[in-house]
Structure 1
Amino acid sequence: MSVADLATARRLLAAQPFSVLLGARLVTFGDGAATLELDIRDDLRQQNGFVHGGVLGYAADNALTFAAGAVVGSRLLTAGFTIDYLRPADGSVLRAHAQVVRAGRIRVACRCDLYSVDGGGEQTLCAVAQGTAITVGAAAEAGEQGI
């Protein structure tokens, strides 16, 4: 099944209880890209006052997979991703913008830039991630083969 539009993708995001807990929203979707945002709240910060790295990891993971879904459909799982933290995230909004790098039939490679956005709308790059998503049927086959 192909995810055809932003409204459908938003319904899929809303079906993820953890995404609802964080208050994540999908602001763009399509043409091999997706942008996920969430408001930076005090309960998402670590002990030094910056956004916790796990929140950035969540945003990268979901944005990468939604970007992949914009190309191959909604039956995907994250196969893996890496993230590099460039500077502490602070501000009022966390924005994760992901773009497909290469889409195969089974595996889709993507990259994601994560920005903290201040009250005036200025973005600061705080992390970069890259990862792959795999179609659900391929994931099941890989599990049967012990991969």
Structure 2
Amino acid sequence: MTGLDLTAAQKVLDSQPFSALVGARLTAFGGGAATLEVDIRPQLQQQNGFLHGGVLAYAADNAITFAAGTTLGPHVLTGGFSIQYVRPATGATLVARAEVAHTGRRQAVVRCELFAAAEDGERTLCAVAQGTVLLA
């Protein structure tokens, strides 16, 4: 979000009740990119012990929107996004890394890769997303 730093962007994220519920945090923000992380815990898993797909979709949506905000400014909304699940997410942390592919006057197109990170830091790709973010 143009003019904001990581600390200010985290405050915006913290103001979203659902983000607080899942325990999301921004670990990188700026220059057309953003990284959002969520600790994988039992309350966020589905019946087979994998991270619920809705949590992956949430992480993609917010990472995409925050990345676009670095180029469009702070008043943005997701116009739409698609997500392709590659494999089940298991491990310690979900990492959603989004990067702006193109910014116009009123919208940005953003790609996002979602990884499940193990305790030792090894990352496994679990989903890929792409979205369009619009000025509000």
Q: 4+ runs of 1 displaced by more than 3 Å?
A: none
Q: Which runs of 5+ in 1 are unaligned?
A: 137-147
Aligned to 2:100: 100
CA RMSD of aligned residues (A): 0.9
C-alpha separation in 2, matches of 1:93 and 1:2 = 27
Aligned to 2:24: 24
Aligned to 2:10: 10
Mapping of residues 65-144 of structure 1, within 5 Å: 65-136=65-136
| TM-score for the superposition, normalised by structure 2 | 0.98
CA contact (8 A) 1:3 1:69 kept: no
- Alpha-carbon offset, residue 2 of structure 1: 3.0
Identity of aligned residues (%): 57
Aligned to 1:140: none
Cα deviation digits, residues 94-127 of structure 1 (max 9, x gap) = 0000000000111100000000000100000000
CA contact (8 A) 2:72 2:107 kept: no
More helix per residue? 1
Alignment partner of 2:12: what SS? Answer: helix
C-alpha separation in 2, matches of 1:96 and 1:125 = 10
Q: Which runs of 5+ in 2 are unaligned?
A: none
Larger radius of gyration: 1
CA contact (8 A) 1:3 1:9 kept: no
Count residues in correspondence.
Answer: 136
